[in-house]
Chain A
Amino acid sequence: QKEVEQNSGPLSVPEGAIASLNCTYSDRGSQSFFWYRQYSGKSPELIMFIYSNGDKEDGRFTAQLNKASQYVSLLIRDSQPSDSATYLCAVNSNTGNQFYFGTGTSLTVIP
């Protein structure tokens, strides 16, 4: 069983719509959860991190965490073509020393 699982997509949404990206993880003791954006040919860029159950909002981005269901999601409101990228979910191990990355979800925002 993979530590972190994401739907690889591709996910296509029209400009202005809400994009919803989902991630599940296997280690129930995980404490920290991260979303990275990676443009083609570039390195991953941190978008958000979340530690507590519930929602965390930052501009057009909202991270949602449900530890009971071992589920973390990222919502992108008012999606823009510049949001087109691969989004990586990462979970910090229970020991706090290692990140586990999902395989990423490719998002395309259609103008």
Chain B
Amino acid sequence: SAVISQKPSRDICQRGTSLTIQCQVDSQVTMMFWYRQQPGQSLTLIATANQGSEATYESGFVIDKFPISRPNLTFSTLTVSNMSPEDSSIYLCSVTGGGADTQYFGPGTRLTVL
């Protein structure tokens, strides 16, 4: 399976600011995904990021709030814009690899918004 890293691992931010989260993979992958996991809850897909095309956002998530870049096949960023305390969550990137459609997750970014 691919080795996935995320930066930062955690951050504490002020309301109204923005944070960009980076996801780096050690091999080329076609599809990358961004998830949010709020405290005590399961994973919610934010968007799918494919290289060379606009990200596809799930219902309830918009590009202005969560802009995504995918400049190449090994890297993606997710920005959480104009943050509020409700954005406090763990943000995870994942990639498909190995057996067909299996998804593997990065270590996550724990975000706290004050």
Nearest-neighbour CB distance to chain B for A87, whole angstroms, equals 11
Partner of B102, one of A41, A46, A104: A46
Residue pair A43, B42 in contact (C-beta under 8 Å): no
Expressed in whole angstroms, the Cα–Cα distance for A101 and B45 within the complex equals 9
Nearest-neighbour CB distance to chain A for B63, whole angstroms, equals 18
B interface bracket (residues with beta carbon within 8 Å of A): 20 to 34
A60: Cβ under 8 A from any B Cβ:
no
Nearest-neighbour CB distance to chain B for A38, whole angstroms, equals 9
A interface bracket (residues with beta carbon within 8 Å of B): 20 to 34
Q: What residues on B are CB-neighbors of A43 within 8 Å? A: 90, 92, 105-108
Residue pair B92, A98 in contact (C-beta under 8 Å): no
Expressed in whole angstroms, the Cα–Cα distance for A92 and B43 within the complex equals 14
Which A residues are closer than 8 A to B by beta carbons? 32, 34, 36, 41-46, 49, 88, 90, 92, 96-99, 101-104
